[in-house]
Structure 1
Amino acid sequence: MNWRVDAAVQTPAHSALGDVLSYSSTRPLVPGTLVRVPLGRREVLGVAWSVHPADPAYEDAAGPMALKPVAGALDALTPLGEPWRDLVAFAARYYQRSLGEIALAALPPPLRELSAEQLARRLRRQAPAGAAVQEAPRPGPPPSAEQAQALARFEAEPGPFLLFGSTGSGKTEVYLQAVATLLEREPGAQALVMVPEINLTPQLEARFKDRFGAAAVVSLHSGMTNPQRLASWLAAHGGAARIVLGTRMAVFASLPSLRLIVVDEEHDPSYKQQEGARYSARDLAVWRGRREGAKVILGSATPSLESWHRSRPAEGEDAGGRYRRLEMPTRIGTAALPAVRLVDMGRQPPRTVLSAPLLEAIGQRVARGEQSMIFLNRRGYAPVLACSDCGWKSECPHCSAYRVFHKIDRTLRCHHCGFTERVPRACPACGNPDIAPVGRGTERLEEHLGELFAGVQRSDGSAVRIARIDADSTRRQGALQSQLAAVHAGDVDVLVGTQMIAKGHDFRRITLVAAANADGALFSSDFRAPERLFSLLMQSAGRAGRDAAYLSAQGSTAEMWIQTHHPQHPLFDALRRHDYPAFAQRELQERAAAGMPPFAFQALLRADARTQEAAQAFLNAASAAAEGLAGAGLVTRYPAVPHAIQRVANVERAQLLLESSSRAALQRLLAALQPILHGLRRAPEGKGVIRWLVDVDPQSI
């Protein structure tokens, strides 16, 4: 008897081939089995999604009606479980992508190339390591009163939980103790711990391995080599790894005994994938926890407004949110949150980069042997190079953006398409040799600090040591780890950097943090910009004064300095008081009045084309065709507009916003739009269109 195997494979984008392709098999495969199947002229990896007895009408069919046989099954690997397949199916359905695209992207790349025999040998080699005896967890420090209360509620209530704890309140210790309690109660259980950035994984991995032993912990993130990712994935899938630490991709890890999910810094935009399938790992973690009966903790000092709203307590006729809010407002020990000082830059001399009071405060820290951190979320030497005679600027010829001046290698580099050229000796337009940088990036700020502190000496008579950490200074393998180690060792007096240094790091000797230019997002057209700015500034402030004993020994206090032209802005008032609830209340009131998330649901339909006219015409045609579709009456469709950065790599980009107070209505419309979009792509309206995509719950508009 033959069987029909419906397999999820990674079909070409916008191929409209459907979620699964059918193949024939001489034996009944278990759903979830990895299979190698023919696709065109290639043989590709797929996942057997469902298996049925073959239809007699097709068994003797020939030509195009005949089902191609499965080339082979990777039987040595335990089939992917039904909960994992449900997660993939939900993500594909909700984020409007194909089943195979999500499923295959969730698997480690080496699996796509291994034959059944090669995989079997790989599993035999890994078996001894997987059989290693798990160490008993080492005891942690006794929890504080707030930590003990949060852990007690976590054990007693179903969740999901929002752990709202100030920076330095010991949220990581809560995660560690929650995992330890789980493994003590259920030795075979597994926990998934997610972080937003790759550079935060090593320090968290060190803490978990120190507590639980190296054999119990594996990491999963895109910074690993393919063999490392495969080994970690196999350890998790086989149950040998009890704890998986990873970035957003880890939400799709195969964990057959998953009982706990932690999403640290849950507010971070990095949890939203920005290429391909644009899923939110945080939201999928909550869905996965509910599907698999695993408890979920979302942790942050500055929660996303969506999570804050969903964790609101019941009040009057409002039944409250479905999350449980756990609060830890104070820092561990006697450490206090840093005092926030605002510098009105309108009262400073023109072209002031760092105000005199701030420089004096940094100098005092240097004299006492303490560390300072200056945050500027713009890398490079200057955002643009310009000619004062003719007005020429260093525009990218391929993008609607300027190329950034990098002085270290004397290049103009586009941070969108990567186009790089040497800095011209004179203005390309008029020949003026006096072209100058405009604005400042971290590279120029580092140089400026070096000039300002050139004559200053440390207490031991040596020169002030200034370091920079950003995407440019950490390109080489291991560069970030060595730079962070130098900061932790006290070999740096003033640290300059982008948001890479603003969150998650436990710097014990930093007592002053400064934001050099905090006004950029105050008046942005993106309604989420104030939320991101408040979070970034509060997280930056959290790097200062984390060690109460060190502060006491130094006779010092922790400070956060913010340079702004708008010191009276309500955002800064809430920040001075470290009052996230007040900020959140004000923002939520404004969003409720405007009908914006979390009180509405959004999706962006995006199109890339050879011309802006073609991109917008395609989107507007899709909007017109949506009239009368299921859910259309409850969804507002706005006209197509150019993307914020209209052109990237000579491709014009446009977007169309869809918004509704009903998530179900928006999803129905998006699903009904899919065949229309495929049809338009092949119609005259699609001429010149390179690709289109749907971005559900977008993080920026």
Structure 2
Amino acid sequence: MPHIAHIAVQTPAHSAVGELLSYASEEVLPPGTLVRVPLGRRELLGVVWEPPAAPAPLPEGLELRSVACVLPGLAPLDAGWRRLVAFAAHYYQRSVGEIAVTALPPQLRDMTAEQLARRLAPPKPARKSRKSKAETETEPQACEPVRPQQPAAIPSIALSAEQASVFAQIEQSPGPFLLYGSTGSGKTEVYLRAVQAVLEANPQAQALVMVPEINLTPQLEERFTARFAPLYGAEAVVSMHSGMTNPQRLKSWLAGHTGRARIVLGTRMAIFASLPRLALIVVDEEHDASYKQQEGARYSARDLAVWRGRDAGAKVILGSATPSLESWHASSPTAQGGPGRYLRLAMPGRIGAAALPRVRLVDMTQQPRKAVFSPPLLEAITARVQRGEQSLVLLNRRGFAPVLFCADCGWKSDCPHCSAHQVFHKGDRTLRCHHCGFTQRVPFACPSCGNPDILPLGKGTEQLEEELERVLRNVQRPDGNPARVARIDADTTRAKGALQEQLAAMHAGDIDVLVGTQMVAKGHDFRRITLVAAVQPDSALYSSDYRAPERLFCLLMQAAGRAGRDAGYVAAQGSRAEMWIQTHDPANPVYAALQKHDYEAFAARQLQERQDAGMPPYAFQAIVRADARTQEAAQAFLNAATQAARDAQLPWLDEVFIYPPIPMAVQRVANVERAQMLLEATSRGALLRFLNHWQPWLHWLRGQGEHRTIVRWLVDVDPLSI
């Protein structure tokens, strides 16, 4: 008699198919086994799961489809991994199958049993080439077996007093920890020591180290490989991020799953890596919004790291010079004077007595009108080029200008498919929509009135690069060569290896002024930068999103941290590290706190404002979004969902406040209208329980005739932008 296997499969979105699907199997399959199963006309990868606590009886006469095959050579995914997937699915309102399957490498999802068997087979010995007698006589006739090299000793790097104190607390306490260290305080060395400690304590232990963006992975991998490869082998350190090829991702995943990899470095996707012996999780730059997935299952890798660490008994270190307000609040003492949920560890000083940069505010209302750079800032940049120092200019907007404009008729370069402007890219003379990707050539004249004088409005990184090249064209470096300006943003780093090449040139001193977006504002250890300038940061101050001041402060604080990291170099140059901010609102409290490098005062003020307004972390939120062909249809679906919850008197509804639906900030993308509805509660449990009861009604509503025009709907728990 065949056995029944309950399998998690990625079913079509909004199909309302059950969490687990039942299949017939000739043998008992342990939970965590990877199998291929038929679904409709396709054959998909699935993960065998524990049976439900009270499985529903099968209808009489129903014949189950059989498991197609079991993927050979792989140990089942362990119970800890399955608990992580189940928690993420429950918390972020997705199906277990979607989370489980998308967490696996793309190449593994498409492999047959035969292909995987070939992939796992040991490599065949190389064939001996035919050599001439003369070549053979010149070669050694007998070879001694290669003896493994003795592990090299870990480089002895003296810790500062702050580092030593923090590391001792990590050793003695279970955590989780919030490592609050200023930029350049040596947080990475603390991570290295913490990883070293867990690997030495257990010969099978594994560590997961996460960074927010792909471009930060290579330099971190270089440091970890240099430290640990001599001890544990070249395969001990692997990376895992979406910039890798599918075969590379599969190789890294297998190394972690089998235990060959002792250290996994990666972006947010690495939180779902199969690491059966996980003992430590490090989340660097934990405040970064990149840890929140914005497509599909909208999970927070940082929050899942804390949950996974607690579940696995692994230590968790969250590190940042500007912690998220949620983490800062969680590490604050309780009202009764007890410790917070996180143990806060402080490292306020920089390594080597390096001073934090002086912050200088430039009031742009007192500068020449339409000036891209104020004259004092240009003088400061010029002086640094002449001394051989480097400068970083930050503008978080790529392209030449956000929009083209006709002064005669008011025409703007709007995207025909989105409620957004097409950005002017001067380099290739195109207009591009950064939302849907639609691209077209720049018109020779206004398409509306024929005026040939259409003008760019606003500034982008291309414009800053062009302006600096013009201003610095006659400025010479100490070696007599002309000043060199470079730009790093999403447009200049598309080619494979382009980012690494540009960063290497920056580290080598070949670039004098680097213009970039937030890609270069965090995590990079540029030793020769003594000046950082933020050109146009004010727009974030007047956003409708209550998190905008926090994001701006973190970005500017992180950018300032790129300056003056090498105290010896700054002293030898007779210079001083500076952060210049061009603003039309120099009296803003955000800039006042930034001038003093006073994150604690900024956080206290922001948390008080949020507590007064009843916003996170003092409340808990979720967003329900609907996409449709018309805005009316999207909002009608959300209104109907609210009414259905009230008519059904769903549990916990009384503890959840549902706001009316509104259009999203970018209302239309790729000809799809988008609307959203905010839910808020003072209890996280009440919000989640209500959402769990509401899910079936959302599925049911979409199947009704008047709502079948809905393209998709989704639930975003703990949203980062509203």
Same fold (TM over 0.5): yes
Aligned 8 A contact 1:248 1:271 in 2: yes
Aligned twin of 1:324: 343
1:305 paired residue among 297, 320, 325: 325
Distance 2:51 2:685 in 1: 30
SS at structure 1 position matched to 2:539? coil
TM-fit CA distance, 1:192: 0.2
* Partner deviation per Cα, 1:209-249 (whole Å, 9 max, x = no partner): 00000321000000000000000000000000000000000
SS at structure 1 position matched to 2:44? strand
Change (3 A) 1:360 1:689: same
TM-fit CA distance, 1:135: 4.7
* Partner deviation per Cα, 1:599-622 (whole Å, 9 max, x = no partner): 000000000000000000100111
Aligned 8 A contact 2:638 2:661 in 1: yes
Distance 1:231 1:566 in 2: 51
- Mapping 1:609-628, distance limit 5 Å: 609-627=628-646, 628=649
Aligned twin of 1:78: 75
TM-fit CA distance, 1:118: 2.3
- Mapping 1:412-491, distance limit 5 Å: 412-491=431-510
TM-fit CA distance, 1:133: 9.0
Q: Does 1:190 align with 2:187?
A: no
Aligned twin of 1:99: 96
Aligned 8 A contact 1:9 1:47 in 2: yes
2:669 paired residue among 644, 648, 654: 648
Aligned 8 A contact 1:508 1:545 in 2: yes
* Partner deviation per Cα, 1:596-653 (whole Å, 9 max, x = no partner): 0000000000000000000001001111212221111011100000001000000000
Aligned twin of 1:663: 684
Q: Does 1:397 align with 2:416?
A: yes
Give the residue type in structure 2 aligned to 1:264. Answer: D
Aligned twin of 2:132: none
RMSD (Å), alpha carbons: 1.8
SS at structure 2 position matched to 1:647? strand
SS at structure 2 position matched to 1:101? helix
- Which shifted more, 607-616 or 104-113? 104-113
Give the residue type in structure 2 aligned to 1:270. Answer: S
Distance 1:234 1:253 in 2: 9
TM-fit CA distance, 1:290: 0.4
SS at structure 1 position matched to 2:565? coil
Distance 1:191 1:469 in 2: 31
Distance 1:51 1:677 in 2: 26
Distance 1:143 1:169 in 2: 11
Aligned twin of 2:161: 145
TM-fit CA distance, 1:319: 3.5
When the two structures are superposed, what TM-score results if normalisation uses the length of structure 2? 0.94
- Which shifted more, 461-470 or 538-547? 461-470
TM-fit CA distance, 1:334: 1.4
- Mapping 1:224-243, distance limit 5 Å: 224-243=244-263
- Mapping 1:112-127, distance limit 5 Å: 112-125=109-122
Aligned twin of 2:660: 639
Aligned twin of 1:572: 591
TM-fit CA distance, 1:124: 2.5
Aligned twin of 1:46: 46
Distance 2:471 2:290 in 1: 35
Change (3 A) 1:136 1:25: farther
Give structure 1 stretches of 5+ with no counterpart: none
1:250 paired residue among 249, 270, 285: 270
Aligned 8 A contact 2:72 2:116 in 1: no
Aligned 8 A contact 1:621 1:685 in 2: no
Aligned twin of 1:15: 15
Aligned 8 A contact 2:185 2:348 in 1: yes
SS at structure 2 position matched to 1:592? helix
Aligned twin of 2:226: 210
* Partner deviation per Cα, 1:225-277 (whole Å, 9 max, x = no partner): 00000000000000000000000000000000000000000000000000000
Aligned twin of 1:551: 570
Aligned 8 A contact 1:3 1:51 in 2: no
2:358 paired residue among 339, 351, 362: 339
Distance 1:408 1:323 in 2: 48
Q: Does 1:507 align with 2:523?
A: no
Distance 2:398 2:18 in 1: 43
Aligned twin of 2:536: 517
Distance 1:365 1:135 in 2: 44
Q: Does 1:173 align with 2:184?
A: no
Change (3 A) 1:282 1:56: closer
Give the residue type in structure 1 aligned to 2:30. Answer: V
Aligned 8 A contact 1:614 1:687 in 2: no
TM-fit CA distance, 1:181: 1.0
When the two structures are superposed, what TM-score results if normalisation uses the length of structure 1? 0.97
Aligned twin of 1:2: 2
Distance 1:43 1:53 in 2: 27
SS at structure 2 position matched to 1:48? strand
SS at structure 1 position matched to 2:678? strand
Aligned 8 A contact 1:3 1:53 in 2: no
Aligned twin of 1:410: 429
Aligned 8 A contact 1:58 1:67 in 2: no
TM-fit CA distance, 1:112: 1.6
TM-fit CA distance, 1:409: 0.4
* Partner deviation per Cα, 1:482-502 (whole Å, 9 max, x = no partner): 000110000011100000110
Give the residue type in structure 1 aligned to 2:164. Answer: A
Change (3 A) 1:388 1:52: closer
SS at structure 2 position matched to 1:276? coil
SS at structure 1 position matched to 2:714? strand
Give structure 2 stretches of 5+ with no counterpart: 126-147
* Partner deviation per Cα, 1:463-509 (whole Å, 9 max, x = no partner): 11000000001111100000001100000111000001100000000
Q: Does 1:156 align with 2:172?
A: yes
2:242 paired residue among 222, 233, 244: 222
